[in-house]
Amino acid sequence: MTEKCGLVAVIGAPNAGKSTLVNALVGQKVAITSAKAQTTRARLMGIALEGDVQIILADTPGIFAPRRRLDRAMVAAAWEGAQEADAILLVVDAVKQRRHELEPLLETLKDRSERKILVLNKVDASAKEPLLALAEDLTGKIGFDEVFFVSALSGDGVPELKARLAALMPEGPWHYPEDQVSDASERLLACEITREQLYQQLHDELPYDAAVRPESYTQRRDGSVEIRQQIVVARDSQKPIVLGKRGAKIRAIGEAARKELSEVLGQKVHLFLHVKVDENWADARDIYEEIGLDWVK
């Protein structure tokens, strides 16, 4: 059997469903998702297998006009992910296209020599006619090689897309062992899972600039793992929001994250969270490295 292996860059406006699609293609959760835009911070590789083909999916942060340092680091990570790919998937939310964020992406795609695949996502929430019109409009602008209509959420159209991607991958040895589904370290993945719970349980109360930092990750002799993390917020006033009344909120966040972590890691987890206020965290180099981003000026 000849092995095949290739890289697929997944790009798109914030909230288009890139992370959901990567998870669907991999067949299990590797990237966190949320209704809040720009959830994906670090560049993350999801690894999907289809027969003898390994498809490495670079899930990139939603690309948008960067202002702050954190945003710029996210954009840099996104384009790094799109470099020298065997195919570029542009994921477009068929319902909310976010044109002002999509246009610059289309512009950049024009000059790329890789195979370009348009993925119209969220077809479960869109009527058919506008979908076809949108596909026509976008392929008129960029010579997309192919168009797929999918629902990353329900899985509709995902097997077809996966089979097609597999067929496009070049011959070559696998880059990752068969059972590996992402390139994120377990430490980092654990932080992402806590961050996802922060979003889910605090909704809009939580400022976008909150981070979860790994403190320690220790395997215990009894086969369980002890994980300590710090939730960093930028202002004193944000601390009580995360803690909740008598610490009820952070306990609920910790409990939900712990449960999910035990499932993902397949072992018993002891999770300790604490909240720290650091006004300048978004300018602190070491935090970037910890959360998997490169430092950009």
Q: Which tokens is 39 given?
A: 């959830």
Could you tell me which stretch among 34-42, 132-140, 243-251, 280-288 binds ligand GTP (CB under 6 A)? 34-42
> Max alpha carbon distance in the chain (Å)?
60
Stretch that binds ligand GTP, among 18-26, 110-118, 236-244, 256-264 (CB under 6 A): 18-26
Assess 34 for contact with ligand GTP (CB under 6 A).
Answer: yes
CA of residue 236 relative to chain centroid, distance: 29
Q: Does 40 bind ligand GTP (CB under 6 A)?
A: yes
3-state SS class at 259? helix
Closest CB 63 distance from ligand GTP, rounded Å: 8
- Residue 197 binds ligand GTP (CB under 6 A): no
Q: Does 17 bind ligand GTP (CB under 6 A)?
A: yes
Judged by CB under 6 A, the residue of 6, 61, 81, 157 near ligand GTP is: 61
Find the binder of ligand GTP among 9, 20, 55, 192 (CB under 6 A): 20
Q: Would you say 22 is a known binding-site residue?
A: no
Stretch that binds ligand GTP, among 38-46, 181-189, 202-210, 278-286 (CB under 6 A): 38-46
Phi/psi for 200 (5° steps) reads -65, -35
Is 6 a binder of ligand GTP (CB under 6 A)?
no
CA distances 122 to 98, 156, 251, 273, Å, are 14, 9, 34, 35
The answer to whether 155 is annotated as binding is: no
CB atoms within 10 A of CB 112: 14
The span from the CA of 88 to the CA of 83, in Å, is: 9
Report if residue 195 touches ligand GTP, rule: CB under 6 A.
Answer: no
Q: Are 58 and 30 in contact (CB under 8 A)?
A: no
Q: Which of 7, 33, 89, 213 binds ligand GTP (CB under 6 A)?
A: 33
Task: Tell me if 280 is assigned to a ligand binding site.
Answer: no
Q: How far apart are CA 168 and CA 4, in angstroms?
A: 9
Amino acid at 282: A
Neighbours of 219 (CB within 10 A): 10
Say whether residue 209 binds ligand GTP (CB under 6 A).
no
- CA 11, CA 22: separation in Å to the nearest integer? 11
123: helix, strand or coil: helix
Is 18 labelled as part of a ligand binding site? yes
Map residue 2 onto helix, strand or coil: coil
Counting contacts by CB under 6 A, is residue 122 touching ligand GTP? yes
Residue matched to tokens 């348009």: 118
CB of 253 to ligand GTP, least distance (A): 19
User: Using the rule CB under 6 A, is 16 a contact of ligand GTP?
Assistant: yes
**Which residue in the set 121, 182, 194, 229 belongs to the binding site for ligand GTP (CB under 6 A)?**
121
State the angle between helix axes of 248-265 and 186-202 in degrees (0 to 180), rounded to the nearest 10: 140
> How many Cα atoms occupy the beta-carbon half-sphere of 31 within 13 Å?
30
Indicate the residue among 4 and 98 with the shorter CB distance to ligand GTP: 98
Smallest distance, ligand GTP to C-beta of residue 18, A: 4
Site of interaction with ligand GTP (CB under 6 A): 12, 14-20, 33-35, 37-40, 61-62, 121-122, 124-125, 151-153
Q: Binding site for GTP: residue ranges?
A: 12-19, 59-63, 121-124
